Amino acid sequence: MKISFPHMGHSYVALKWLVENTGHECIVPPEPSSRTLDLGVRHSPEFACIPFKILMGTYLEVIEKGAEVILTSGSKGPCRAGLYWVMHQYILEELDVGVKVVAFEPPLCDLKDFFQKIRWVRKTGGLSLKEFVQVLRVTWEKLKAIDEIEKLSHEIRPYETNRGETTRKLWQALDMLDAANNEVDVEDALQEGQKLLQGVSQDRSRNPLKIGIIGEIYVVLEPAANHYIQIMLGEMGVLTDRSIYLSSYTSKNTIENREGDVLEVAKPYLGEAPIGGHGANSIGETILYAQNGFDGIVQLAPFACIPEIVAKSIMPAVSRDHGIPVLTLFIDEQTSKAGVQTRLEAFVDLLDKRRQVKAKRGIERLVI
Ligand code: SF4
């Protein structure tokens, strides 16, 4: 079968390996572009949020390339994300494009359904259970390695002396991970990639501002959706940390489900109210970043994203109580790279001035 899946950051490197090694042909989803968004907007309800539209466009692009099956994820909770795959399926049926959508619900929601779908992928590829488990292990190692490499690139970029060198090395490291075919290869490629990145020429005398990136999972994880915000900030000399990586998200939502700290610190602002998506995480992560000495927060929110709108309405109180400025960027199909860049430059200037004032007054915290 020709199988594809949504594009989400660099995870396609691991997912391509998974599909190819379960006996199927992989149609690698292209990085979302203006064409992807145009296609998605044309075939989506006007008020759907941008992840829905980008995924719709991606599905139509991979169908053009021959995809017969699309693997995607479902979701639990009050946010509408859980119904998105159903909507996508209806629209694709109406378009009569002859594709099957297979959605994996979080196993903690419906264990039987999850394993039935896994079994279907394995059986149609003709793999024994033992072979399939081995493929899953390598895929998991790849996912973790991809996240580690990307994290390291964000730590190094603000110190680079040749603009763009870190990003070029990141792509080389990802290519090495792409070529790895077993757990040992993945470990070797990871170490080689780390060496490559550490070899970037750097000025370690710099003292970069630190910004935490929080918000809705898709726009946080997909650089093409957020206009490469972490690269943009890194090249402005800012050190960024992102609250979500796919490997940590997957483990929290499938194996361990322990988001305890983040949700616990958010409780005074939310109580037990389930606001869906990553809204509660956005509150909790802002507090944790403030407690860890970060200078500011950028909240990424798809336009009309209900959980992030709720979080944004609480954010002024969080920001005041914990002394940390928060910039919320709402993203939709009208958002331009230049607009994002201008707002980030102004925010970074503000954070820089705050840091100077704090240093001059010899204080840890400024009242907002
Ligand atoms: S979390 Fe927000 S953007 Fe994501 S599906 Fe829900 S409402 Fe849409």
**341-361 tens-digit pLDDT:** 999 999 999 999 999 998 888
* Gap from CA of 156 to ligand 1 centroid (Å): 31
Q: Is the pLDDT of residue 258 over 50?
A: no
Tell which atom from ligand 1 comes closest to the C-alpha of 308.
2
Q: Is the pLDDT of residue 315 over 60?
A: yes
| Distance in angstroms (rounded) separating the CA atoms of residues 333 and 303 | 9
* Gap from CA of 305 to ligand 1 centroid (Å): 5
| Distance in angstroms (rounded) separating the CA atoms of residues 307 and 324 | 21
Q: Is the pLDDT of residue 142 over 70?
A: yes
* Gap from CA of 358 to ligand 1 centroid (Å): 37
What average pLDDT does range 87-94 have in this prediction? Answer: 96
pLDDT at site 209: 97
Under the banding of pLDDT at 50, 70 and 90, the label for residue 248 is low
Average pLDDT, the chain: 91
Tokens 């860049």 belong to residue = 341
Q: Is the CB of 220 under 6 A from ligand 1?
A: no
Closest residue (by CA) to atom 5 of ligand 1? 81
* Gap from CA of 76 to ligand 1 centroid (Å): 12
Q: Is the CB of 125 under 6 A from ligand 1?
A: no
Q: What is the CATH number of domain 208-368?
A: 3.40.50.11900
Tokens 């190692």 belong to residue = 141
Domains of the chain by residue range: 2-127, 137-203, 208-368
Query: What tokens appear for 99 in the block?
Result: 């594709």
Range from 17-31, 64-78, 164-178, 310-324 carrying the lowest mean pLDDT: 64-78
**185-208 tens-digit pLDDT:** 999 999 999 999 999 999 999 999
Buried-exposed string 41-73: b where 16+ CB fall within 10 A, e elsewhere: bebbeeebbbbbbbbbbbbbbbbeeebbbbbbb
Q: What DSSP element (H or E) covers 152?
A: helix 129-156
Q: Is the pLDDT of residue 271 over 80?
A: no
pLDDT at site 168: 97
Q: Do 208-368 and 2-127 fall under one CATH topology?
A: yes
First to last CA, the chain: 57
Tell which atom from ligand 1 comes closest to the C-alpha of 279.
1
* Gap from CA of 216 to ligand 1 centroid (Å): 7
Under the banding of pLDDT at 50, 70 and 90, the label for residue 249 is low
Give the residue among 205, 215, 203, 206 at the shortest CA–CA distance from 238.
Answer: 206
pLDDT at site 118: 86
Residue 305: other Cβ atoms inside 10 A: 29
Q: What is the CATH number of domain 2-127?
A: 3.40.50
